[in-house]
Amino acid sequence: QVQLVESGGGLVQTGGSLRLSCTAPVQLFSRYHMGWARQAPGKERELLAAVSTRNTTWHLPTLKGRFAISRDNAKGTVYLQMNSLIPEDTARYYCAADTTFNVLGNYPYWGQGTQVTVSS
């Protein structure tokens, strides 16, 4: 099992940017494929991006390049850079870990999430 801690959420205006971070114990992190998902009130959780242990990435096509996932194994951290934010991006954002590269969203390990609110 791996513990995940997200940070970097907050309130931002439309058009702004945020970078979310998620840390895990460094000695374990490189073994896991990582993902970012979000859940808005009244909606199902959706997977936004994933990065493999070898830095292969996948992004939800409907994001149209606004978000980018990356990882730094030396720091035990996965990032989600979010640009051109819109109110519809308001949600709680979660990072997740799996032992296989996962673009379906059914990750076994999840953090507690960080809230992102985009004002109009």
**Residue 89 pLDDT grade (very low, low, confident, very high; cuts 50, 70, 90):** very high
CA–CA gap between residue 45 and residue 91 (Å, rounded) = 9
Give me Rg for the CA atoms of the chain: 13
pLDDT at res. 92: 98
Distance of alpha carbon 51 from alpha carbon 57, whole angstroms: 4
Interval 10-63: pLDDT, tens: 999 999 999 999 999 999 999 999 999 999 999 999 999 999 999 999 999 999
Instruction: Say whether pLDDT at 110 is over 90.
Output: yes
Band of pLDDT at residue 1, cut at 50, 70 and 90: confident
Q: What is the pLDDT of residues 7-21, one digit of tens each?
A: 999 999 999 999 999
Model confidence pLDDT, tens digit, residues 78-87: 999 999 999 9
Write down how long the chain is: 120
Alpha-helical runs (H) found in the chain: 26-29
Name the E strands within 46-112.
46-51, 57-59, 67-72, 77-82, 91-98, 109-110
